[in-house]
Amino acid sequence: MQGLRAAHGSILASIDADGTHGVEGIREGIRIIKSGKADLVLGNRLGKMGAGDMPAYIRLGNRAISGIYSKAFRSKIHDVLTGLFVMSRKAFESIRDVEPYRAGIAFFAIELSNRGYKVGEIPIRYGRREQGRSKLSKSKLLYGPG
């Protein structure tokens, strides 16, 4: 949140630094924001990943939480816990002072949906982490909400 608050652009974007997310999603997200079709664009990793790129328990948790979000907000989002998003400045300003809870990017989707902003999704490439280890463990299957 500090980085987003300090940013100056009319469109804000973020991507996980582990190299697993395809950066091409940022360009497409910017195009969608500029077109007015969405105020927040999430990168959907789940459709473009190879075998073994994401552990099954993480994939299951992502699908479960995304399913809950989709039902709650009557919006089909496949990957609300993604590590890539693009957001309009206007949307961000509406939540800039909200204290984030442990829901990762789902925090933005939930808070913006509650305020009537449009959340969209684009498919992105997702690949296996080449360096370092994930801090997620099986005990954190549903790490997002807790």
Note the pLDDT tens digit of each residue in 39-65: 999 999 988 777 788 888 888 888 999
Half-sphere exposure of 131 (CA within 13 A, CB side): 3
The two structure tokens encoding residue 39:
């105020």
Domains and CATH numbers, the chain: 2-127 (3.90.550.10)
Question: What is the side-by-side order of every strand in the sheet holding 40-44?
Answer: 11-15, 84-88, 40-44, 119-123
Q: Does the pLDDT of residue 131 top 80, yes or no?
A: no
What is this structure's pTM? 0.86
